[in-house]
Amino acid sequence: MAQAETDGATARRPLSPHLTVYRPMMTMAMSMAHRISGGALYLGAALIALYLLALAFGPAWFSAFSWIGSGLFGHLILPAFVWALFHHLLGGIRHALWDRGLFMDPKGRELLATGTLVGGLALTVATFVLSSLAG
Amino acid sequence: MAPKNTFISGRTGRGAAYVSDASGASHDRFMRLTARALLPLGLATAWLLARLTGDSFEEARAELERPFPAVVLIAFIAIGAAHARLGAESIILDYVHDEALKQKALVVNTWVTRAIALAWAFAILLIAAPR
């Protein structure tokens, strides 16, 4: 596979214009956001694993790693992780609907992609408001 | 993944063409199966992480010592890490074109996802296991 791409003869072939020829669309933006949020969850899970280990090892360890879960940084990382989680989760539901042939028309697919963005943000806000109310 | 069958291309020769290794269907089934399990687990995990935000040591311990959050978080990372491994594998196959680097990245990805899952689950067990 790699040879086919790095081979001199093929490298000089004209390439068809790829992303640059399209007007940005919601479906394209959310497709990229799905992959980016997946990558963010990967990195976030590593940080949370570190936080949980510190919590398990005792107060001294926890004070060294509590920046992941509390303080200014913690109040950015965990909400960002929860947002990525909701966004990726709704992205999965979007794909499940498309798998079944639903919302495939021009209006429907843009509506669904916008719904992923708005829904992810709304669920994140709702979760943090409800959890702070629950105490 | 590396093609199992070698296709002789008229242009680039033996084994240099894009050839399916027929792993796509099982990849797809696995991602959708784990995604289905991660729907309820992800919702519960989002809720638990929101509750942990800003917690002191004692508050966070009290939260995770209960059995339900412990079981949910372990199930989430066990299935989530498997889902993340295949997802990151797709990203590597899409963007890393150097064959040697690609193989290294795939191995690193496998072990990093395993390490995350083990560290996460081990930590929860230390916190929540009855003693």
Residue pLDDT, tens place only, A94-114 = 999 999 999 999 999 999 999
Residue A129 burial class via C-beta count within 10 angstroms: exposed 0-12, middle 13-18, buried 19 and up? exposed
Chain B: give the shortest CA distance to residue A13, in Å.
13
Nearest to B42 among A6, A35, A89 (CB): A89
pLDDT at B31 over 90: yes
pLDDT at A8 over 70: no
Nearest to B47 among A45, A66, A131 (CB): A131
Residue B25 burial class via C-beta count within 10 angstroms: exposed 0-12, middle 13-18, buried 19 and up? exposed
In this structure, the dihedral spanned by the alpha carbons of residues A120, B90, B37 and B25, taken in order and rounded to 10 degrees, is 130
Number of other residues whose CB lies within 10 A of the CB of residue A15: 6
Q: Is the ipTM of this complex over 0.90?
A: no
Tell me the two tokens of residue B8. 């002789």
Tell me what pLDDT residue B27 has.
94
pLDDT at A73 over 60: yes
Q: Across-strand partners of A1?
A: none
In this structure, the dihedral spanned by the alpha carbons of residues A65, B114, A37 and A53, taken in order and rounded to 10 degrees, is -20
Residue type at position A100: R
- Least confident range of A15-29, A48-62, B45-59: A15-29
Instruction: Give yes or no for A89 touching B (CB within 8 A).
Output: yes
Which residues 64-123 in chain B show a CB within 8 A of chain A?
A: 64, 73, 77, 80-81, 84, 87-88, 91, 97-99, 102, 112-113, 116, 119-120, 122-123
Q: What is the CATH number of domain B21-128?
A: 1.20.1300.10
Q: How far apart are CA B57 and CA B76, in angstroms?
A: 22
Q: What is the pTM of this model?
A: 0.87
The secondary structure of residue A44, as a DSSP letter, is: H
pLDDT at B2 over 70: no
